[in-house]
Amino acid sequence: MANEKRKRLTSTQQEYHLFEKERETKRPVAKNCVRAFLVGGLICAVGQAISYFYMYFFDFTEQTVGNPTVATMVFLSMIFTGLGVYDRIAQFAGAGSAVPVTGFGNAVISAAIEHRTEGFVLGVGANMFKLAGSVILFGTFAAFVVALVKTVATKWGGL
């Protein structure tokens, strides 16, 4: 917890925090890292296999194969989310299944499924990007800032 937050607490509360922390089950960080590494690696290996598949059987190069691969991975993530499997994989894998693009797909699709009962417009449409919306917003903004820096550096920086 942030120090600033802690300052607002009374001494009894602070004392209880320490008391509570001692008895709290800790997140198994090392185990989580290993699991995330293995599952995340596995997902990436599947993605790599799909890329090779498109390059071998279709007319894609290493530069252009990204798009169909990502689309396929997101599609698979959608199927697994719909079948109710992805959240179970995620409980085991943690960041391993959240960081790859499949995790992003899961965030969008799970929200869409969840709000289907409120109809297509007010439910699915309005809530689909409830979780992924901020990723899109700040991702786009970060890309804009990087592009701006690059433009300034090349135009006036003489790079």
Partner 1 sequence: MLKGHRTWVFENKPAILSTATVGGPFEANGRIADDFDLLHEDLWLGEQSYEKAHKVLLEEAMFKAMEKAGIAKEKVQLIIAGDLINQMTPTNFAARTIGAPYLGVFGACSTSMEGLALSAFIVNHGGADYILTGAASHNAAVEKQFRYPTEYGGQKPPTAQWTVTGAGVALISTYGDGPRVTSATIGRVVDMGLSDPFNMGGAMAPAAVDTIEAHLRDMQIDASYYDLIVTGDLGKIGREISLDLLRQHGMNIEEERYQDCGLIIYREGQPVLSGASGAGCSAVVAYGHLLNRMKRGELKRILVVATGALLSPLSFQQNETIPCIAHAVAIEHGGDGP
Q: How long a stretch of residues is the chain?
A: 159
What b/e string do you get for 110-120 counting C-beta neighbours within 10 Å, with b at 16 or more? Answer: bbbeebeeeee
- The separation between CA 144 and the C-alpha centre of its own chain, rounded to angstroms, equals 20
Residue 9 or 143: which CB sits closer to partner 1? 9
The CB-of-65 to partner 1 minimum distance in angstroms stands at 26
Residue 54 or 108: which CB sits closer to partner 1? 108
Residue 9 or 137: which CB sits closer to partner 1? 9
Helix (H, G, I), strand (E, B) or coil at 3: helix
Look up residue 118 and give its DSSP letter: G
Write out the residues near partner 1 by the rule CB under 8 A. Answer: 1, 5, 8-10, 12-14, 16-17, 19-20, 23-28, 32, 81-82, 84, 86-87, 89-91, 93-95, 97-98, 103, 106-107, 109-111, 113-115, 117, 130-131
What b/e string do you get for 56-77 counting C-beta neighbours within 10 Å, with b at 16 or more? Answer: eeeebeeeebeebbbebbbebb
Residue 55 or 113: which CB sits closer to partner 1? 113
The CB-of-130 to partner 1 minimum distance in angstroms stands at 8
